[in-house]
Amino acid sequence: MNAPLTKPLEHNQALQDPRNRTVSTINSTDALAMIEHGSELTLNVSTPVGTKFLATTKFIGTHSDNCIVVEVPEVSNEDLNFFFQEGFWMTARAYSLRGEGALIHFRSQIHHRIGEPFPILVLSTPSTMQVTQLRKETRYEVNLASRIIFNDQRANCEIRDLSKSGCRFVTSPTSRAIQIADRVSIEITPENYNGPLIPPLRGIICNLQKSTHYARYGVEFDDIGRANAKHLLAKLKFDGTKLCLRNG
């Protein structure tokens, strides 16, 4: 969906309810530390005459010379040459899955566009960025072997973080893709667990990110999912680094 701006990206629509948001301004060093390498960035480029262009790309990281490095978006050569010129300004938005979850917004200028052998954009780093909190409770880091069920399909997955109202899980990038707004059920299938049956977590896919090694999905639980998540959280114990299931 790289095109002149007509509407926000659909996969971010689930995050637009302002009632669930707390906005703060923090320094760019702390804000950028919240963005994982390979995360998706939404770029809203504005030309000097006010024409806007929306594109998505991948966050690479930061440079010691106070710059942000991202991949060049996959757009036509015509759009690339017209909209991604050195000196043009853009607003960028990234989704952080860490902790309470957040949207990071900032305004940046294109410093350089490098072509070969690896196309990258070098962007200016503002002194501060806007951070919009998305959740009311913290998600706890876990590594729970599970099975995802969706549209009569099944696939192995691993839950990476968990709260009373949602979770994040990963699957193999070769697994059948799950779409935004798909309803899913997650069965917990840990090894060496001899305790009572764990009821499945149910909910709806609200965001996704893909990388070389994983497809990562965020789930918002429904009423049954929230009740079962509360039950699951009560069965977890801290092993020194993360929460894990206790038997019995």
| Whether residue 28 sits in one domain with residue 128 | yes
> Considering its fold, how many domains does the chain have in total?
2
Q: Output the pLDDT for position 243.
A: 78
User: What is the rounded distance in angstroms from the CA atom of residue 55 to the CA atom of residue 40?
Assistant: 10
Please tell me the predicted confidence (pLDDT) of residue 212. Answer: 78
Look up the domain containing 64 and give its range.
23-133
Cα separation values, 206 from 151, 167, 179, Å:
16, 10, 9
Q: Domain of 88: which CATH number? A: 2.30.110.10
What is the reported pTM? Answer: 0.57
Residue 127 shares a structural domain with residue 57: yes
Within-domain flag for 10: no
For residue 186, being part of any structural domain is answered with yes
Whether residues 144 and 234 share a domain: the answer is: yes
**CATH code of the domain covering residue 184:** 2.40.10.220
**Residue 9: DSSP 8-state:** -
- Whether residue 15 is contained in a domain is answered as no
* 210 and 186 inside one domain: yes
pLDDT tens, residue by residue, 3-43: 544 333 333 333 344 444 678 899 999 999 989 888 889 99
User: Where among 77, 102, 133 does a domain terminate?
Assistant: 133
Q: Is residue 83 part of a domain?
A: yes
Band the pLDDT of 121: cuts 50, 70, 90: very high
62 and 146 both lie in a single domain: no
pLDDT digits (tens, 9 = 90+) for 163-216: 899 999 999 988 888 998 999 999 998 887 777 788 999 999 988 888 778 889
Taking only the tens place, the pLDDT of each residue in 145-162 is 999 999 989 999 999 989
Type of residue found at 88: F
Identify whether residues 235 and 171 lie together within a single domain: yes
Encode pLDDT of 68-102 as tens digits: 999 999 999 999 999 999 999 999 999 886 655 78
Residues 202, 239 within the same domain: yes
Where among 133, 158, 190 does a domain terminate?
A: 133
pLDDT tier for residue 46 given thresholds of 50, 70 and 90: very high
Whether cis (ω within 30° of 0) applies to the bond prior to 199 is no
